[in-house]
Structures are given as structure tokens and as C-alpha cells.
Structure 1
């Protein structure tokens, strides 16, 4: 597989590995407190924020949507969108690597981009996610008319879609709802008791199959054979069943070519394709009107995305209750749409407008705001979210632990570091869990109830006996603590690996 190369690519790869782990502070809760625990709005550099989320959310995100700077020298002022090409790639690479780690095994990532970087980004994502996990390049018709200032104005953006595992994503992808225009195509000219229907004009299939070459006599007396080089789509007995159930149509005079009825009340939706016209998913003019309605001006965000566009993506990629992530949140559209659609979400935005615009927008959603997709999804309000900021680094330049680190935070970090999975257990005990035949323990921050300096943080014989009561099964054990006072012979005999805090954490 070909790879993309650019100036400082090796440095970009090192950045992905060396991102420091920062604490995540929950500053405020908005709306329902229970719902707010699951929905996060994070203000801060998205590279640092993604690393801070890793111990808790690795492998859990079903859909990632991002609308990164297009590198066009025209994005809004909150981003440095005048990046030289190689700098843009270096900015994207480590973020894609971390996003990949957050993605669920059957999850997908959707990235909007224009022609300036789309083709380079495709090759870059081939490298990060695997060429075999490329799903589609969706073409979104973002304009409603040509730009008369240009001889060949752009009418579309790309939405590159990759999966963590293409087969698993395709097996779970959902149909999209029928549009109002498509629903209007269903009629009932013959008063069929099943209700409105439409019919396919093609009851034939390409090729020759002897048992599908029969003649059809219509109710009006006309006879039809399959068209040249084709056969009927079903065997004759199946056709007779459809006919007896009134599921065939031959035109108003009963003499036309056979057509099979498709009933509106039997439709759960339809499969999507890669051409998304603006009448179905919105356009830039629509999205700017949404922003003006919300904020009273469009000057803050030049390229917001319409709620209908994000809704289409979430319909395909997620189910209610599943987790959505947007690490370039901008005006907050992804979070607002996810909230209205009953998805959990994490939005990351580095600018001050995370407070001045994203928070008020989501508060309006909680209050029942009726713009965008609200009417389509029958949104009435409710729910909640937490506003978070990035705290200090968990480790200083010498590898020492920040004094603000809590037991549960360090436990989640160690669990992810050791197992590669997100910690979803409560982490309220020295016993962290079992993974692939090993039991993991953490002695830190007086978790055993001893608040003296180093109290309970030392692995001695008494504490080891206590740990055995928490998980008595005889299997290899990994214990993190400040120091160890158990003899080497016993450690070897009982298959105990001791890792010292903080050195064995910061080094690993």
C-alpha cells in the first residue's frame, strides 16, 4: 500500500505517542445531573483532551464526526487555518491516531473536507485506519446554486468515511428515514387495503434462468415475456403468490408490464448512497440561518454544518444511547443533534466560544429549542451535559505524579495502559479487575483507609494477604504501589509483578 510522506512526518508520529496525559476537570453541570454524567463538553486543545479521555472511553465511541480546518485560508478566526500543507498533515496525523483508539470495534469516523486536502487526507487515513476499512467518499452538495464569481465554482464537500472494522460496521449500519419527497411518491390508486404504495418498473433481472422465463398474462388480457436478455425476478409460483395477494400492478388499464408494489407501511427506511443532495441534508445557507437564529449573527462561524447533515450521519452510524464524539466541535452542531436524537456525546472545542456559544446552545436544546431537526425528531427538551476543562498534566517533567490525581483517575489510566481497554468499572477498590488471565491492583491515595503518608501504599505481607481476599483466584498478579516489602522469593512463587508509582507509569 502506498504511503503519504511529508516534511516532519516522523515528528508527527512521535507526537501521537508522546501526548502528555492531563487531568479532566468537571467544572459545571447543566440540566439533568444523571444525563449530564454521560454527555461532556470539553474546552481545551483537542489533542490533549483526546488523550485525557482515553482511559475512560477507548474503544467505546460508535461514531466520530469531525469538521477540521480545511486549510483554505478562509476558516473562522478561532482556528489557524492558514497552515502550510505539511503542517496541516502533521496536525491531523496524531489526532487521527488517538481518534482511532477511541473508536469502537464496529464504529466509524466521518470527516468533512474540501478538495484542497481531501485526496491527501484519504491516503493519510488509509495509513492510520487501514485501506481495507475505507467505507465511502460521500459527496455533499453544499450549495443551492453556482458561484458566479468563478468559472468552475465548487458545489460540494467530501465526507470521508472509514471504519474500525469495515465488515462489522456494515453489518450494523442503519437505513435512513424516507424523505418527505419520497413519502409523497407513495399513492393508492387502486384502494389497496394495505395503504399507499409505489411500484418498481423493473420486474426483470439480467441473465437467463430457465425457471424464470414464463409468460405473464395481465388482468387486461395482455401477454408479456421477459425483455431481451433478461428473465423475471422470481419463479412463476412466487409471482402467482404476489398476484393473488394483490401485490402486482399492471397500470390503470391492467395491460402494462408487471410491476411489484412496495408499501409505505412496510418501509423501515432506505439504504443510503454517496450522493447527498442539499434538499435532503441541507446546505451552507441553511446552516448559517440556523446559526443566526441561535446567536444573532453569522460572523462567528463561516462554515457551520446544517443539523440535517449531522442527523443523516448519526442515523446511519449510531443507535439511541450510543456515544458520538466531535473533537472540532465549532458551533456545537454535532452535540446539539446528538442530544436531540438521544445519543450520548463528547464535544471538544479549544476556543473561548466553547463557553460563550456551545454552552448556551446546548442549554437552549435542553430548554426545548425548536430549530434544525427538532420538529423532525419531535424534540421537546430535557437531558443534560457537563462542562469540563483540561487540568494540569498528571506527571511533571521528572515523572512525578500531580498531587491532584485521584485514585479513580490513576486507576483508569493504569487499566488502559495495561489492557488497552477503557475502564468502565467504578474503580473504588484496590482490585481493578482481571484481563487476559492477570489480576490488577493499585495501592494509592490511601485507598485502604490509611491516610498517613505512604499509608496503605506499600505492598507488604499483610496488605498482600488482604489483596488475596479481594481476588482469591490463583493467577498472575500485577500490583502498583509506592514500594514493596515482600521478599523476592514470595513474589516469584506467587507470580506477583510489582510496578512502582510513579516511575513504572511514566516510563511505560
Structure 2
């Protein structure tokens, strides 16, 4: 496959793997709302932050949306957007590598760009994500009127590149006709639209107990009342479902209490497999324009805001409706004014937002606090957003390893454990449980252990960080192969082999990058 050459390309390719792992340090006073929330707002360079996320979120993100600097040779207050082509590609290439590695196998990447770098990006993205995983180049109608001072063409669109992590596993939702969905006026706690009908059979001529005796049985209302399928005239009717289906579909039954007692209804959900496939033109009437986006930001921050390049909430909503379901994880590593996180939050998705510089605090943080408090701008009314949830704020901390490739003495056990697990298995380690034993987990039949920082309660130099026969008998057993990280071992190579143990010495055999 052809690839794109640029100044420093080989250096960029090689240095991608040498970016050091850094810690993410919480800033409790800048977090907001529900302390159990999984949403993360991170202040710092996106490259280092993406690398720091890998041990915890590798292969976990369902949808990534990024709106990187367009290289417009304009002087933005919040970005150095005056980059030469080679420097712009040097910035994007390693970030694409880490974004790819964070995606789920059924996930997708969405990138907005204009004509200056779009076609260069396409070639680089084909190399990193695989040409077969290119899905579409959609066109977003960013302007709703021509610029009369344009000398040649008045640009009315931006590109929206869509890539799959694995095209064979990607599924996008179809676009629903609003008129067809008008009947589905209720929404459950997972965001699915539905309406209800009485569970008692009605008006078919076959709605009597005599016609279907097995459909005449009692149900129990929420207060314990026995309810039978009686018709309004007092005669015996029947249910639409038999006892087996009632048990299987009990979550679809809604109870309503009226003056004549309880009525059992059942939910009919909108079929999301219906509708039309998404099209590659995103008109401003559907998703909003630059004018829409600027008005949304000014409504939040006032006329004094100088952030001039936001995306409209409707555009992000359309993307998330196509690419995600409630509860999925969404990532934006060029968060800007916070639009992606705000929309994901309102739509019931989990999110991670990364933004460089102080306006992670001055723009993103206040906007997302307003979302938690129930602000009614953007898509809020259309998705019935009233507030809730929360987020944690993080800054990039020191590297896991110092300049001499030694583990920093103050690195918590959980951070090093996540690092070891990821470099050994390629899988994230997101357990919030406190580690009480050296067993990190079992992956494909192999158990992984980390003896570090007195995990066994013995912090002597020759204590719990050194593998001995006694210690091996005390840690959680595993019948299959074992990989043990520690400061030293008192067992010979032959003895380790006979016990099915591969010992790796910290820090010499622990990869720093």
C-alpha cells in the first residue's frame, strides 16, 4: 500500500513507541457532581494523555470524535494552528496510533478537517487504521450562507472522515424518520423510545377466555393485588401473552392504577433496525452550522468568549446516534470548548475529554458543570436533559519511569500494576478494587503477579518484593504458567522452569515505553 512521506516521518514512526507512560493525577477540587461517575476531563498534551490512558482503556472506546487544528495559518488564541504540513502530520501520526489502540474492535473514529490537510490525512489514516477500514468521507455543511468577500469559492463544507477499527464488526444505527417515531412518546432509562398498549386482548373476536383458555390467568400488581383479564362488561377475557411469555417479558409490563383498579400494559419499542441508512451529506438544517455552534457557546459563556471554532451540539448528537448506544464510552482528545463531552453526557454516554492548556479549566470545566446542573442549551430539550451525573478532573503527572529508566519511588502499586498488565496482555486493567494480593489476573491461561511496594505487607529490601519458595506458596495459586515481576528471586532458572514460572526483574525487564 502506498504511504505518505514527509520531513521527519521516520523519526515520527520510531518515536511513537518511545513516548513515556505518565501518571494521571486527580484534582479533586475541579471535579464535579457524582463522585462515582466514570467521566474524565484531562488537562494536558493529548499525546501523553492518550498513552497514559492505554493501560486502563485500551480497546474500550466505542466512538472517538476529534476536531484537530485545521492548519489554517490563522492565529487562534487557544491553538498554535500555524503549522507546516510536515509538522501537522508529525502531530497527527502518533496520536492516530494511540487512538486506534484505544478503540473497541466494533468502534469507530470520526475526524473533521477542511481541504488544507484532509487529503493528506486520508493517506496517513489509511496506513494507520488500514485502507479497508475506511468507511466514508461525509460532508458537513458548516455554513448556511455564502461569504460575500470570498475571491474565488466560498467554502461551505468541512470533511468528516469515518474509520472503523474493524470494518467487519462495525455497525451503525440507521436514521429514524421523526414522523415515524412520533408515536413512540415515552423513553426508558436506556434511552429507547416506546409506547404502551393494554396487555388484555381487545376487539379481535378471539379476546375471550373461551377462545384461549390458557391465556386466562392472574397477574400480580405492584401492591400485591390479583388482576385478571376481565372485560369492561364484566365477562372473562384473556391476556395477549401466555404465562411463559409474561415471565420472559416482565420488564416490558407497565402497571397503571386508575379508579377501577390496576391495568397491565406492555411496551412496544421503536425498531432501530428500521429507518434509512445515514447519508454522507450532513446538512446544516439537520446538525447545525458554525453559526449555530457559536450561538451555543455564547449562550453559555457570554459575548466575551473568544473561542471561535466550536462544533454544534447537533453534529455531535448525530454522530453519537449513529455510532453509539447509551452507556458506551466516547473520547475526544481535542476537546476544545467541551462540546463532545457535553453532548455525550446529555445522551447518557460515558466520556473522556482531553484538552491542552488552561481552558480545560476556563472553558470545558464550567461548561460541563453547567451540563451536570441541567443547562438547557443545545440539544438539552430535544433529549429531555434535566441534569445529573458528574466528572473527575485530572492533570498529567510525572512519568512512571525516571530518566534512568528506573521506576519512580512514589509510583502507587495500582499504576504499576496497570502498566504491567497492559504490556503483557494488551488489555486494559480498570478494576477499582484495592489490590490485596500480587495476582493481577489470568489471561489466556497465564497468571500474572507483581511483587512491588510491599503488596504482601513486607517492605524490607529482602522481603515481600523478592520471590522465594515460601512466598510462592503464599500467593494465590494457579495450575498453569505464571509470570512474576519482582525485584529479585532466590530460585534458580531450573527451579523456576520446574514450577512453571517466568520471572521478570524490576526494573530491568519492565518496559518503560
TM bin, normalised by shorter chain, reads: 0.7 to 0.9
2:163 — aligned with what?
A: 162
Contact 2:459 2:465 in 1 (8 A): no
Distance 1:454 1:136 in 2: 59
Within the alignment, does 1:486 sit opposite 2:487 as a pair?
no
Which structure 1 segments of 5+ residues have no match?
A: 185-263
- Structure 1 residues 306 and 113: alpha-carbon distance in aligned structure 2, compared to 1, 3 A threshold: same
| SS of equivalent to 1:504 | coil
Count of residues paired in the alignment: 426
- Describe how 1:328-407 pairs up with structure 2 within 5 A: 328-407=334-413
Residues 400, 161 of structure 1: alpha-carbon distance in 2 compared, 3 angstrom cutoff: same
Cα distance, 1:79 vs structure 2: 1.3
**Correspondence for 1:463:** 471
Assess if the C-alpha contact under 8 Å between 1:176 and 1:312 holds in 2: no
The match for 1:178 is: 177
Mapped partners of 2:326, 2:317: distance in 1? 12
State the TM-score, normalizing by the size of structure 1: 0.80
Residue 439 (str. 1) matches residue 447 (str. 2): yes
Instruction: Provide the TM-score with structure 2 as the length reference.
Output: 0.80
Q: What corresponds to 2:311 in structure 1?
A: 305
Q: Output the CA distance in 2 between the equivalents of 1:458 and 1:114.
A: 56
Q: 1:177 to 1:297 in 2, by over 3 A?
A: farther
Match of 1:61 in 2: 61
Q: In the TM superposition, what is the alpha-carbon distance from 1:271 to its structure 2 partner?
A: 2.2
Q: Is the 8 A contact 2:141 2:157 kept in 1?
A: yes
Do 1:179 and 1:280's aligned partners in 2 also have CA atoms closer than 8 Å? no
What does residue 202 of structure 2 align with? none
Q: Could you tell me how far 1:73 is from its partner in structure 2?
A: 1.5
Query: Which residue of structure 1 lines up, in the alignment, with residue 10 of structure 2?
Result: 10
Equivalence map 1:123-142=2 (5 Å): 123-142=123-142
2:34 corresponding residue in structure 1? 32
Cα pair 1:291 1:298 within 8 Å, conserved? no
1:18-39 deviations in whole A, cap 9, x for unaligned?
111001111123101112xx10
Gaps in structure 2 of 5+ consecutive residues? 183-268
Question: 2: distance between equivalents of 1:52 and 1:104?
Answer: 17
Residues 278-287 or 145-154, more deviating: 145-154
- TM superposition shift of 1:297: 2.9
Q: Alpha-carbon deviation of 1:489?
A: 2.0
Measure the CA separation in 2 of the matches of 1:105 and 1:144: 36
Q: 1:75: Cα distance to partner?
A: 5.8
For 1:371 and 1:507, how far apart are their aligned partners in 2? Answer: 45
Query: What RMSD, in angstroms, separates the aligned Cα atoms of the two structures?
Result: 2.3
**Does the 8 Å contact 1:55/1:413 carry over to 2?**
yes
Q: Give the 3-state SS of the residue equivalent to 1:137 in structure 2.
A: strand
Cα distance between partner residues in 1 of 2:306 and 2:84 = 23
SS in 2 for 1:2: coil
Local SS of the residue matching 2:427: coil
**Does the aligned pair in 2 maintain the 1:143–1:285 contact within 8 Å?**
yes
1:367 is displaced (CA, Å) by 0.5
- Write out per-residue CA displacement over residues 356-375 of structure 1, whole angstroms, 9 at most, x where no aligned residue: 11111110001000000000
1 or 2, which has the higher helix percentage?
Answer: 1
- Which residue of the partner structure matches residue 423 of structure 1? 429
Query: Are 2:143 and 2:156, in contact at CA under 8 Å, matched by a contact in 1?
Result: yes
CA contact (8 A) 1:93 1:124 kept: yes
- Where does residue 209 of structure 1 map in the other structure? none
- The offset of 1:452, in angstroms, is 3.4
Q: Closer, same or farther in 2 for the Cα pair 1:79/1:130, shift >3 Å? A: same
Q: CA deviation at 1:424?
A: 3.0
Change (3 A) 1:507 1:363: closer
Offset from partner CA, 1:75-96 (integer Å, 9 cap, x none)? 6222111101011001000000
Matches within 5 A, 1:34-433: 34-35=36-37, 38-74=38-74, 76-150=76-150, 151-170=152-171, 173-179=172-178, 269-297=275-303, 299-425=305-431, 426=433, 428=435, 429-433=437-441
Answer yes or no: is 1:476 the counterpart of 2:481.
yes
Shift of 1:176: 3.1
Q: What displacement does 1:315 show?
A: 0.6
- Contact 2:21–2:512 at 8 Å: present in 1 too? no
Which residue of 2 is the match for residue 234 of structure 1? none
Q: 1:501 to 1:427 in 2, by over 3 A?
A: farther
